[in-house]
Structure 1
Amino acid sequence: MTHSDTAVAAGAPAGALSGIRVLDLSRVLAGPWATQILGDLGADVIKIERPGQGDDTRGWGPPWVPDESGQASRVAAYYLCANRNKRSVTVDMAAEKGQALIRQLVSQSDVLVENFKVGGLARYGLDYASVHALNPRLVYCSITGFGQTGPYAPRAGYDFLIQGLGGLMSVTGQPDTQPGGGPVKVGVALTDILTGLYAANAIQAALAARATTGQGQHIDMALLDVQVACLANQAMNYLATGISPGRMGNAHPSIVPYQDFPTADGYMILAIGNDGQFIRFCEEAGQPDLASDQRFATNRARVEHRDELIPILRHITTARTTAQWVQALESRAVPCGPINAMAQVFEDPQVKARALKIDMAHPEAVSVPLVANPIRLSDTPVDYRLPPPGLGAHTAEVLSQVLGLETPEIDRLRTDGVI
C-alpha cells in the first residue's frame, strides 16, 4: 500500500514511482537533487520549508529568472535546478503544532529525506527512531557531510570542503610544476550531485526491500563516503601501488593521447582509447610513421613516452580548426570533440535532438527554462508535472488533501504562524 493521491494527467502513463509519497525535509542540493529524481519518476514529493524563508537556494542569486516585464523576478536560477515536480508546504518546525503536522504527514508518507546535522531532528521528535515507531514502513534517508558515525559525524559538510578532504582536488588541476598549477575544484558541486544520485538509488532499493519485508529502514548517506567511492580508477591506482596520483590537468594517467590539444582557432579534445584509433589519427594527420614508431605504437609505450609524444601532437593539431578536425576524425571513428561553452552546449544538434532543455510555466516568471532528466524509460517515462514551486504554494492543498484539514483550521494555523 502506498500513500500518494496526486492525479496523473489524463491519457498519460503513470510514472514508475507513482503512488509513492516523499516527505522532503532537505534543502540546498544533495537532498533536493535526490527528491527531484524521485519526483520526475512519478513520486508525490512534498517539500517542507520554513515559513517566510524556505530553501536557502531561493535566495542564491543573481541570476534571477526574468518576470513578465523582463525584470529580475524573485526566482533564483540555482533553486530551479533541483526542485521540479514538488509541492511546497511551509511549516514552522520549531512550533509544537508544526511538529504535529509533520508527524501526521510522516504517517501518510513512504519516504522521508533530511539533511540536518546528526541528531538535529531529535529535539522535534522527527529523528529516525521516533518516526519509525510512528510509521514502521517509512524509508528514512539522512544525508550529511560525514555520516551518522565516526569522529567527524558532528561536523557540517559542504561540497567544496569534501572535494578537498575526499581527494578529488588532489587529481584536479594542473601540476604544481606548471603555470597555474595547484588544486582546483570541479566547476559544479559534483559531490552533492553524486550524493543525490546515490541517495535516490538507495531509496528505491529500500522501497524494493520493503515490498518483501513490509518494513522501512534508515539510509545513512555521507558526502565524504560518496566522494571517496567516486574516486574510481584514481583510488584503485593508489590502492594498487601505494603511490598517490597527482594532478595532470586534462591528461589521463593511463591513456595517451587523451586530453585537450590546441587547434588553429581554439582547442579540441582527443580521446584515443586504443591503438587502432591512434593509427587512424596518424593517417589522417599525415604522420603514419608516428604509429609505427616503437615509442608510440602501443598505449603502454605512449604512456611511457608521453613527454615526447604530446609536444609533437600539439604541433600537428594547430594545422586545422577544431571543426575541421572533428569532421575529419569522426569520419575515421577517432573520438574527438570541441570544448563547448554553455551557449554552444544548448545549441548542439544532439542536445536539441535529445530535448535536454525544457520550459515550464511558472507563476512568478513568464516561464522557466530547465534541464531535462536524462533517464529514458520506454513504458513509464519521466513526467514534468510541476514547475519548481513558489514558497508555500501548496500548503493549503496538501493539508486538505493529505491530512483532511478543513479551511477554518488551516486559516487558524496560518494566523498562528504555524504554516
Structure 2
Amino acid sequence: MKPSVNALAGVKVLDLTRFLAGPFCTQLLSDHGADVAKVEPFEGDQARAFGLPPGVNEGDDGQYSLYFQSINRNKRSLALDLRRDEGKEVLRRMVAGADVLVENFRLGVMERLGLGYEQLREINPRLVYAAVRGFGDTRSGESPYSEWPCFDIIAQSTGGLLSITGDPDGTPTKVGPGIGDTLPGIYLAFGILAALHQATRTGKGQFVDVCMTDAILAISERVVYHYQLSGRSPKPEGNFHPFFCPYGLYRAADGWVSIACVSSGFWQKLAQIIGKPELGTRPDLQTDSQRSAQRDFVNAQVTEWTRGQTKKQLAEALGGIIPFGSVNTAEDIFADRHFQRREMLVEVESMGKGAKPLTLVNTPVKMSDTPSHVPTRAPFLGEHTVGLLAEYGFAQQEIDDLLGRGAVRRSAQEEPR
C-alpha cells in the first residue's frame, strides 16, 4: 500500500533561489514532499529563459525553457516584488509560518532589503535559513573573494577539480554537467535536513551556508591528500587512474566502455577473457602498483581486444564478471532497461501550449515506506500567488489589496482556489 504522505510532508520552504544551485537544492526537497513556494520577482527566475532551443517547448512569452522545467518540478510560484515595502512585509509574514528559507543572492542583498537571517530569526526562531554562494557567507568565514560572482565553471576551476581533469598533456577539461552548481545544491539540501532535525529537537533554527567552491574541493579530496603525501600537485590523468590499472575508458568498435580492475583477482579474470591468461600470472603485473607502473603496456593489451568488439559484445563478455560499464549516450540511456525499471526517466506535463509531455530525470533517492513525490511540472510565473497567500494566513481582502497595489502578481494560469 502506498503511503498517504511523503517523507518531508508538512515542511514549508520559501525558495528565493534562481539559476541552478539553489533550485536544484529545493527540488530535492520538493521531490520528497516538502511544500516549496518559489518566490519570484515579477520578471521571474532568469532561468525561465535559459537555453531555449528555437521552436521547442517555448511558451507565448518565451518563459518556459527546458532548463527551468528540469529543476523546478513539484514547486508552486508566487510573484512578489521585494523592492516594495508591501512585498517585504508579505515575505516577513510568510516567514512566520515557514520552516526553511533558501536563497542564493550575492552577499549582502538580503541584508540590504532588511530580510537577512538576523532579522528573520526574530520573527521565527525555528527558521532554518540556508544560502549557497560562490565563495560562501562571511558568517562562516570571510573569504577574500566573498564579493565575487560565481558560476559552475568558476567553482570547478577554483575548487581544484579541473586541475586533475583532462588529458595529461592538454588543457584542463570542464566536467560536462554543471556540477559546480548541482553538487553545492546537494550539500545544501543535506545541511537543511540536518538543521531541521536539530530544530525539531531544540526549537531553534540556524544559518546554513554552502560555498560552491568548498563543495567542489570536498569532492576533489585527492587533490589535497596527494599533495600532502608527495609534495607535488597532482596532474590530469586523462581517462585513467593514477593508482589502479587497468582502470579507465577503452575504445570499442562502436564507442567507448569503462573497465575498472582494482584487484589482482579482477585482472586475472580480464586476462583470461581477452585471451592472454599469461598476463594474469606475470610476476611483474600482480599488484595495482606494478600494473600502474606499466600502464601504457597494460592499457594497450586491453584496448587491442576491446576495439574489436561492440559495446553490446563487451557487456556480454564482461558484465557481472569484472566492473564494467558502457559509455552511454542519451539515446542509450532512453533504451536501457536499468533506467526504465528504476523509473529514472519520468514524463510530466509540459508548460508550453500544445507541447508534448516532458521527460525529466527522476530522483535517485528510493525510499521503501515514503517514496518520492510523483513529479508535477514546473510552475508558471505567479501561478499559485493567491493560493499560497491564503495558505499563509492572508485574508482575501488583503490579497486583493496586494494585487491592486502591485506588490504581488498572479498569472493567467492561477489555479482555482
With normalisation by structure 2, the TM-score equals 0.92
The corresponding residue for 1:163 is 156
Deviations 1:317-376 (A, max 9, x none): 223222212201125x11222211111112111111111111122453443221111111
Determine the C-alpha separation between the residues in 2 that align with 1:343 and 1:324.
18
The corresponding residue for 2:281 is 292
The corresponding residue for 1:50 is 41
Secondary structure at the residue paired with 2:181?
helix
The corresponding residue for 2:187 is 198
Residue identity opposite 1:154 in structure 2: E
Residue identity opposite 1:40 in structure 2: D
Cα gap change, 1:392/1:196 in structure 2, threshold over 3 Å: closer, same or farther? same
Cα gap change, 1:123/1:228 in structure 2, threshold over 3 Å: closer, same or farther? same
The corresponding residue for 1:107 is 96
Matched, 1:344 2:344: no
My pick for the range that moved more, 226-235 or 164-173, is 226-235
The corresponding residue for 2:364 is 374
* Aligned-residue offset at 1:414: 2.5
* Aligned-residue offset at 1:404: 2.4
My pick for the range that moved more, 382-391 or 163-172, is 382-391
The corresponding residue for 2:225 is 236
Q: Which of 19, 23, 37 is residue 14 of structure 2 equivalent to? A: 23
User: Is 1:106–1:131's contact at 8 Å kept on the other side of the alignment?
Assistant: yes
Residue identity opposite 1:392 in structure 2: G
The corresponding residue for 1:4 is none
User: Is 1:65–1:368's contact at 8 Å kept on the other side of the alignment?
Assistant: no
The corresponding residue for 2:29 is 38
* Aligned-residue offset at 1:73: 6.7
User: Is 1:65–1:72's contact at 8 Å kept on the other side of the alignment?
Assistant: no
User: Is 1:65–1:77's contact at 8 Å kept on the other side of the alignment?
Assistant: no
Q: Which of 383, 391, 402 is residue 392 of structure 2 equivalent to? A: 402
Secondary structure at the residue paired with 2:334?
helix
User: Is 2:3–2:370's contact at 8 Å kept on the other side of the alignment?
Assistant: no
Residue identity opposite 1:372 in structure 2: N
The corresponding residue for 1:357 is 345
The corresponding residue for 1:118 is 107
With normalisation by structure 1, the TM-score equals 0.91
Cα gap change, 1:65/1:351 in structure 2, threshold over 3 Å: closer, same or farther? farther
Question: What's the C-alpha RMSD, in Å, of the aligned pairs?
Answer: 2.1
Residue identity opposite 1:336 in structure 2: F
The corresponding residue for 2:143 is 150
The corresponding residue for 1:91 is 80
Determine the C-alpha separation between the residues in 2 that align with 1:91 and 1:126.
14
Cα gap change, 1:285/1:168 in structure 2, threshold over 3 Å: closer, same or farther? same
Determine the C-alpha separation between the residues in 2 that align with 1:155 and 1:264.
47
User: Is 2:58–2:64's contact at 8 Å kept on the other side of the alignment?
Assistant: no
Residue identity opposite 1:56 in structure 2: Q
Cα gap change, 1:402/1:366 in structure 2, threshold over 3 Å: closer, same or farther? farther
Q: Which of 124, 133, 142 is residue 122 of structure 2 equivalent to? A: 133
The percentage of aligned residue pairs carrying the same residue is 36
Q: Which of 380, 383, 392 is residue 390 of structure 1 equivalent to? A: 380
User: Is 1:65–1:73's contact at 8 Å kept on the other side of the alignment?
Assistant: no
User: What count of residue pairs does the alignment treat as equivalent?
Assistant: 402
User: Is 1:237–1:243's contact at 8 Å kept on the other side of the alignment?
Assistant: yes
Secondary structure at the residue paired with 1:295?
helix
Cα gap change, 1:397/1:336 in structure 2, threshold over 3 Å: closer, same or farther? same
Deviations 1:6-64 (A, max 9, x none): xxxx974211111110000111111111111111111110000011x211110002237
* Aligned-residue offset at 1:197: 0.7
Secondary structure at the residue paired with 1:198?
helix
Residue identity opposite 2:28 in structure 1: I
My pick for the range that moved more, 87-96 or 266-275, is 266-275
User: Is 2:3–2:369's contact at 8 Å kept on the other side of the alignment?
Assistant: no
The corresponding residue for 2:323 is 335
* Aligned-residue offset at 1:235: 2.8
Determine the C-alpha separation between the residues in 2 that align with 1:93 and 1:386.
27
Determine the C-alpha separation between the residues in 1 that align with 2:16 and 2:62.
25
Cα gap change, 1:77/1:362 in structure 2, threshold over 3 Å: closer, same or farther? closer
Secondary structure at the residue paired with 2:27?
helix
* Aligned-residue offset at 1:67: 5.2
* Aligned-residue offset at 1:110: 0.4
Determine the C-alpha separation between the residues in 1 that align with 2:34 and 2:225.
37
The corresponding residue for 2:235 is 246
Secondary structure at the residue paired with 1:243?
coil
Matched, 1:323 2:309: no
Q: Could you list the runs of 5+ residues in structure 1 that have no partner in the other structure? A: 1-9
User: Is 1:60–1:78's contact at 8 Å kept on the other side of the alignment?
Assistant: yes
Q: Could you list the runs of 5+ residues in structure 2 that have no partner in the other structure? A: 409-417
The corresponding residue for 2:414 is none
The corresponding residue for 2:271 is 282
My pick for the range that moved more, 97-106 or 264-273, is 264-273
Cα gap change, 1:343/1:232 in structure 2, threshold over 3 Å: closer, same or farther? same
User: Is 2:136–2:211's contact at 8 Å kept on the other side of the alignment?
Assistant: yes
The corresponding residue for 1:172 is 165
* Aligned-residue offset at 1:266: 2.7
Q: Which of 182, 192, 197 is residue 208 of structure 1 equivalent to? A: 197
Matched, 1:270 2:259: yes
Determine the C-alpha separation between the residues in 2 that align with 1:258 and 1:133.
54
Determine the C-alpha separation between the residues in 2 that align with 1:328 and 1:33.
38
